[in-house]
A and B are shown apart, each in its own frame.
Chain A
Amino acid sequence: MKKIIVENLKYRYPLSNELALKGISFEVDKGEFIGIVGKNLSGKSTLCQALVGLVPHFYKGAYGGSVIVDGLEVLKSEISELSQKVGIVFQNPFTQVTGSKLTVYEEIAFGLENMGISREEMRERIDNSLKLLDIYKFRDRNPFDLSGGQMQRMAIASIIAMKPEIIVLDEPTSQLDPQGSEEVFKAIQNLSKEGMTVIMVEHKMEKIAKYSDRVMLLNDGEIVDYDIPEKIFSRGDLDDYGVTAPVFTKICVGLGVKNKITGLYPITIDEAYDLVVSYNE
């Protein structure tokens, strides 16, 4: 079942002469984990915002093509309507704090209150999402007193509590330490296994390689490639697009170690380890 269908999406920001997205088309199935990679200004964030309706409803600007999310055409739907189908977490956790709530618990309730969820269900959902992101112990703190990483977890939790069918994450782990970002990735992978569709922009290639089902390589507002991570990271021209392959892949490229069956370089540490060991035997 197709969850997201994007056809020939073109978009230009107001007061700008250049297209930010130059005719993008792709489809995403239900429950897929999609990683989006590409250098800065390649259109990753714009694409994310196009999925939730911020492009074009919030920014205005010139828009062409169509984005259909879970049966709703973005251009003809309102952001509040779309926000119940698809949630987005932004890069900067600080500006995602509403500022009108005094505790983390109430902060997460903000979206649910707006949606009109009943009190009992609200409490259940908030508890679940707080525990999922491991910030249950901070529930009575003031949101502004949290560290960057904790705020980032709170931002993710407040979207997850709204139970969207699709979650879009724009560099959600930029402020987290390695252990913290691994935990967040695991939590998101669990959601993905439960059937939530995940779209994630991330610069940590090792993580993208490990968790994504498919990877989209963007450059200059266009899709260069959209395929399984092994194929994307085995490309010889990644440097041209400002992307580096996971370090394990680079080692195997240097050694010339390929997976004999698929003819592709390995992308995770376990796979690389197995191949290097068998190569040396």
Chain B
Amino acid sequence: MKVLSLYQDRDTVVHKVDPISKILYIIISIAIPIILPYKTIGLLCMSVSIILLLIAKVFKKVIPLISFSMIVLLSIIIIQGLFKAGNKTPAFHIGTAIFYKEGLLFALEICIRVINILCAFAILVLTTKPSDLIECLVRRGLSPKIGYVLASVLQIIPQMTATMETITDAQRSRGMETEGKLSVRIKAFLPLIGPVVMNSLINTRERAMALEVRAFNSKASKTFLNEEQNGRYNKIIKIVLILLLLLAVAWRVLI
């Protein structure tokens, strides 16, 4: 079963932490380097995220994410290294292009922040089941309707892709050309997309009825099948994170 999600099912400490703590971690690991704009702090936050990813055994999955963002980061390094206002000390040169130290250091700071943000989000995305995250938010007052939309999209879009494939096969078996030149593909598009859209409209209506009769609009206060993972360590994690944030603010104000 295809599900639109990057979740990696492992049994580690990081997986057991509740989603809210992870969201808090994202916020704080982004906020601290902004409050304390030193490279060492940025590096520290980044290393903490990477260590957490390693503990969760999902670091391999982050590498493609980071390497994808490398294209952007590389352009930042080149542009800042060559053209940043205030560039004075030349570091090295490739041909006639001279890279300056100030620009490169500034670029390095941006790179650290970007990778830090990516890693922090990766912890949430790779180690939390989407359904757990949504349920957690619904418990904290997110409308169950929005929660349903978020949760069902992850499963229903792959289902629609599967329907699309079935319809493509059906049309192809009736002799329709779906591959080849661009003009052929465009011609094939309409007879394919028509049934898919009609089909999903009908399905949506039927599903809406099925939800209605399962008391979806009930005014009774909702209960949950799964117990909330609310270990004591989750509370400790949250308190520690908030203390760190306060500490960072205090440091900035005092120094």
Contact = CB atoms under 8 A, between A and B. Distances in A.
Contact of A100 (B151, B203, B208): B151
Given A87-B213, A98-B152, A142-B1, A113 B222 contact: yes
Contact of B215 (A80, A94, A119, A126): A80
B123 to A, nearest CB: 21
How many interface residues does chain B have, given as a range?
35 or more
A115 B213 contact: no
A95 B208 CA distance: 9
Interface stretch (A101-109, A214-222, A225-233, A245-253): A101-109
A116 interface: yes
Contacts of A84: 215
A110 interface: yes
B159 A83 contact: no
B155 A114 contact: no
Contacts of A192: none
Given A98-B152, A119-B223, A80 B207 contact: no
A111 B212 contact: no
A90 B210 contact: yes
A7 B216 CA distance: 29
Interface in A39-78: 49, 52, 54, 58, 78
Given A100-B152, A116-B223, A54 B209 contact: yes
Interface string A81-94: 10110011010101
A122 B226 CA distance: 10
Contacts of B181: none
Given A95-B206, A99-B159, A80 B212 contact: yes
A122 B222 CA distance: 12
Contacts of B209: 49, 54, 58, 90
A276 interface: no
Main secondary structure of the interface of A (DSSP, over half): helix
Interface residues of A, number: 46
Interface in A138-153: 142, 144-145
Contact of A115 (B3, B148, B206, B220): B220
Interface in B191-246: 203, 206-227
B222 A116 contact: yes
Contact of B217 (A78, A90, A122): A78
User: Which of B129, B152, B221 has the most CB atoms of chain A within a 10 A radius of its CB?
Assistant: B152
Interface in A228-258: none
A158 B214 contact: yes
Contacts of A100: 131, 147-148, 151-152, 155
B169 to A, nearest CB: 18
B156 interface: yes
A97 B1 CA distance: 14
A116 B222 CA distance: 5
A196 interface: no
Contacts of B207: 95-99
Given A95-B206, A99-B159, A115 B215 contact: yes
Given A95-B203, A99-B159, A119-B227, A110 B212 contact: no
Nearest to A111: B214
A162 B215 contact: yes
A145 B218 contact: no
A144 B215 contact: no
A150 B222 CA distance: 28
A117 B206 contact: no
Contacts of A106: 225-226
A80 to B, nearest CB: 4
Contacts of A102: 3, 129, 131, 155
A280 interface: no
A144 to B, nearest CB: 6
A79 B225 contact: no
Given A90-B209, A99-B155, A116 B221 contact: yes
B156 A99 contact: yes
6 contacts: A52-B213, A79-B213, A80-B212, A99-B152, A102-B155, A119-B225
3 A-B pairs closest in CB distance: A111-B214, A100-B151, A95-B206
Interface of A: 49, 52, 54, 58, 78-81, 83-84, 87-88, 90, 92, 94-102, 105-106, 109-119, 122-123, 126, 142, 144-145, 155, 158-159, 162
